[in-house]
Every structure is written in C-alpha cells, then in structure tokens.
Amino acid sequence: SQQGEEDPQALSIQEGENATMNCSYKTSINNLQWYRQNSGRGLVHLILIRSNEREKHSGRLRVTLDTSKKSSSLLITASRAADTASYFCATDGNDYKLSFGAGTTVTVRA
C-alpha cells in the first residue's frame, strides 16, 4: 500500500533553478528515503534520512524531515537537464518494507 504522497505531482523549472518537492506520510517510520527514476528505468536511491535526523545533504540534494508533521521535503539546487526524472519518497517502518508514494515528475527546461 502507498503511504507516502508527493506534492506536487509535476514540476517544470528552468535549468539553474531550484526544485522542491514534498512528501507526507501517515504512520511512524524508521527512516524515509528518496529515489529517482528516469523514464522506463529502475529506481536509483538518492538519500536516506533517519527518524531522529532533521536535515541531510548530499551534493545538490537537501532533505528535511519533520516527524511531528509526518512530512519530508527534497530540494534539488541549481537544477540541470539531467535532473529530469520522477522522484519518489519511500517510508521504512518497523518491517523493512518500503512503501512508495506516487512520485513527482520533474522537468528541467534548458
């Protein structure tokens, strides 16, 4: 079942701009993960944030987690055409099974 819900469903930005997408979930988690999927391909793990962490960085990615609001955000700074993809949040509860949201489709215009 899907626990995470991403917002917005789609996002179109100019190259060089920042892209922000949000994820909300319903039940308690051990960690929250973000994945990228290029069209017709498998998912690639981007970043994991544990329930006791509030913010994490990896290159041009910044993830925040607010467990009191059951929400997370993914920020991609200085976007590039290669960032065009769908982005999914996934929550890991106590059973090590990931539940994925429906994703945010990001289009970066040159």
Partner 1 sequence: SQTIHQWPATLVQPVGSPLSLECTVEGTSNPNLYWYRQAAGRGLQLLFYSVGIGQISSEVPQNLSASRPQDRQFILSSKKLLLSDSGFYLCAWSAPPGQGGYGYTFGSGTRLTVV
- Helices then strands, each counted (H, E), the chain: 0, 11
Q: What is the smallest separation between the CB atom of 38 and partner 1, expressed in angstroms?
A: 10
Cα–Cα distance for residue pair 106/64, rounded to 1 Å: 19
Q: Using CB under 8 A as the criterion, what x/- string covers residues 7-36 for binding partner 1?
A: ------------------------x-x-x-
Longest dimension (CA), the chain: 42
User: Which residues, 6+ apart, have CB-to-CB distance to 11 below 8 Å?
Assistant: 19, 21, 104, 105, 106, 107
Stretch that binds partner 1, among 11-19, 55-63, 65-73, 95-103 (CB under 8 A): 95-103
Name the one range near partner 1 by CB under 8 A: 18-26, 62-70, 74-82, 84-92.
Answer: 84-92
Instruction: Please give the residue ranges that form the binding site for partner 1 (CB under 8 A).
Output: 1-2, 4, 31, 33, 35, 40-45, 48, 88, 90, 92, 96-103
